[in-house]
């Protein structure tokens, strides 16, 4: 089930809300959320239901054991067991085929490449439990004592399938006690509708434009066309994933949960390091807090940790070499920026920094796009103007003009226009009220237009469902 399904928007969610809000106590409200979350997660795949329940039982028991064994050898052993189970499951389900293919290629063996079933949202809920177990061991949080609430933490449908990576320390208290007021409902629904608009109106149509070029094979695309198509693809990835995050944060707010932001206008960055402070924030902070300072590199800890983080960032996204290259690509430029230092970077003209970051980001999204290494090689030839199809295709001017308004809308929506307007009218009640009315009408219009577009639309799942 998708957030951008009409069934979800007009049947599943309303029914969940009605039953949730007529339930008198937090215990019953949580039960409603658990039931609907398990239905949402296992929709069309009963195996997923069995897995997530068993997974939650194991980690619930391990969390209790780690807490009881704090400061003892048993606590460390249970932590290691938990990490082995959680990360081992991630590796087995997600990377067995990848490892087998590479063993066959490296040693010229003919091992059968298994076709593994990968549970939805595996990377996201694995990282949630890993952070949970580590935080208990490090005494940053206590273990959950009531299993149904822990099951809700694992299965909560706004964030189970595609994030954000929500930590127990952030919402543990809200599992026990939370309230929802009018402002929560308003902010939640506004965020939900805006996120839906990002996905259906912008992302899905940007993907169609990009696929019109790359769908015929990148080797047959001219250099200029490749630049245009990969810029469009970059916008697609941003609006698809930030749209999902907006909807997840909005849905959670409606139910009284406060998720942290996952995107903060990343294309406004002036360095690659700043981009990753604004993009997929929950993933970046996870690796920073749990992996960056792992003491296994001795005197090279700073740079070894940086390599490990970006290798894992790439690997986390998928079982393909292009994702690893993608992670190391960004890690390389962050390493270079680290060597230069903040003082030197500040001396670079702002326009130069914007151009530098946008070119590198667009190339990075191209690496992300092509899982086939032959296609990736063709992409690099194209962007460096060695395309076999020449410098520019004959259809580019017409195609660009046919999609000019979509392209402009995508660019404009990368800017923090709404926060800027809110800051300008802050402290002026009449203007704030007027802005609220306009914003509400705008959000409702997005909902109506998105609904119309979804009626006969081909299903386009959120990109990060596969990770």
Active site residues: 317
Q: What single-letter DSSP state applies at residue 283?
A: H
C-alpha–C-alpha distance, residues 147 and 191, integer Å: 31
- Structure token pair of residue 241: 């994933």
Other residues' Cβ atoms within 10 Å of the Cβ of residue 453:
15
Residues 6+ apart with CB under 8 A from 42: 48, 49, 52
Cα dihedral 384→387→392→396 (10° resolution): -100
- Structure token pair of residue 463: 């990109």
- Structure token pair of residue 121: 């949202």
Residues 6+ apart with CB under 8 A from 142: 67, 136
Q: Where are the alpha helices (DSSP H) in 291-349?
A: 301-317, 321-347
400-425 CB burial, b ≥16 within 10 A, e <16? eeebeebbeebeebbeeeeeeeeeee
Cβ proximity of 322 and 371 under 8 Å: yes
Burial class, 212, CB count within 10 angstroms (exposed 0-12 / middle 13-18 / buried 19+)? middle
């Amino acid at each position: 089930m998708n957030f951008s399904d009409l069934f979800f928007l007009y049947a599943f969610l309303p029914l969940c809300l009605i039953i949730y809000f007529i339930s008198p106590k937090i215990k019953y409200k949580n039960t409603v959320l658990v039931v609907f979350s398990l239905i949402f997660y296992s929709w069309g795949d009963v195996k997923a239901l069995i897995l997530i329940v068993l997974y939650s039982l194991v980690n619930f028991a391990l969390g209790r054991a780690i807490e009881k064994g704090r400061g003892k050898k048993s606590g460390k052993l249970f932590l290691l067991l938990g990490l082995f189970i959680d990360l081992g499951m991630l590796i087995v389900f997600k990377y067995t085929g990848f490892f087998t293919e590479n063993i066959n290629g490296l040693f010229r063996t003919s091992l059968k490449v298994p076709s593994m079933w990968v549970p939805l949202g595996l990377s996201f809920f694995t990282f949630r439990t890993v952070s949970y177990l580590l935080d208990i061991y490090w005494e940053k949080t206590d273990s959950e004592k009531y299993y149904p609430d822990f099951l809700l933490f694992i299965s909560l449908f706004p964030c189970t399938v595609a994030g954000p990576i929500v930590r127990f320390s952030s919402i543990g208290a809200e599992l026990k006690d939370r309230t929802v007021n009018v402002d929560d409902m308003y902010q939640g629904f506004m965020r939900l509708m805006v996120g839906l608009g990002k996905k259906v109106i912008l992302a899905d149509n940007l993907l169609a434009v990009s696929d019109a070029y790359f769908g015929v094979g990148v080797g047959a695309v001219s250099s200029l066309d490749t630049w245009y198509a990969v810029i469009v693809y970059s916008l697609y990835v941003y609006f698809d994933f930030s749209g999902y995050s907006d909807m997840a944060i909005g849905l959670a707010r409606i139910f009284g949960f406060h998720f942290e932001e996952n995107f903060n206008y990343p294309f406004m960055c002036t360095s690659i390091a700043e981009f990753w402070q604004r993009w997929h924030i929950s993933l970046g902070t996870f690796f920073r807090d749990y992996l960056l300072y792992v003491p296994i590199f001795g005197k090279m800890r700073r740079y070894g940790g940086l390599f490990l983080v970006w290798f894992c960032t790439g690997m986390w996204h998928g079982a393909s070499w292009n994702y690893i290259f993608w992670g190391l690509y960004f890690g390389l430029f962050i390493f270079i920026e680290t060597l230069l230092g903040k003082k030197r970077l500040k001396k670079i003209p702002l326009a130069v920094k914007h151009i530098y970051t946008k070119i590198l980001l667009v190339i990075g999204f191209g690496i992300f796009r092509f899982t086939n290494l032959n296609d990736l090689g063709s992409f690099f030839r194209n962007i460096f103007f060695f395309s076999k199809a020449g410098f520019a295709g004959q259809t580019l001017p017409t195609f660009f003009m046919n999609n000019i308004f979509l392209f402009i809308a995508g660019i404009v929506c990368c800017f923090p226009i709404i926060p800027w307007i809110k800051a300008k009218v802050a402290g002026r009640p009449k203007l704030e009220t007027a802005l609220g009315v306009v914003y509400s009408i705008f959000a409702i219009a997005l909902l109506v237009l998105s609904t119309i577009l979804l009626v006969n639309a081909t299903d386009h799942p959120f990109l990060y469902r596969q990770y």
